[in-house]
Amino acid sequence: MNIIGLDDYWGLNFKPHEILKSVDNNSSNIVLCHNPDVCDLNIWGNYKGWILSGHTHGGQVKAPFLDPFIVPVKNKRYTSGIFNLSEGRELYINRALGHLWQVRFNVRPEITLFELDRDIKKNGKIVNNL
């Protein structure tokens, strides 16, 4: 199993091409990537696996039945939860415990526990479970 950490999107050491080109897609892979906007960049090549992210805090303030008002990412779809990305990638965005502004409304803090399981086959293809 490979656990890969990427520097922050705006960090000086954000060089995802260097690390992602060495990923073995025959193994299970998890990428830790603080800002989910990185998922929309053309950097992933043949990467298949999970991407775990944060940064949004779920928007912190969300009126019932509406999307959060302020989400600090370009892709406003990326608030929290699971997103099925293309070509065998899954994104999970955690709401976290902290905050950018000292307010939370209708967006509960979160600690996520993942249970790792062996790879399983679906329709003859190996699927990485998390």
Question: Which pLDDT value is given to residue 5?
Answer: 94
Query: Please, what sign has the CA dihedral across residues 35, 6, 102, 61?
Result: positive
Write out residues in the chain with pLDDT < 50, as ranges.
none
Question: Which pLDDT value is given to residue 85?
Answer: 93
> Model's pTM, two decimal places?
0.82
State how far the alpha carbon of 124 is from the alpha carbons of 10, 18, 107, 121, in Å: 39, 31, 39, 6
Question: Which pLDDT value is given to residue 83?
Answer: 94
| DSSP classification of residue 61 | B
Instruction: Give SS3 for 83.
Output: strand
Question: Which pLDDT value is given to residue 128?
Answer: 57
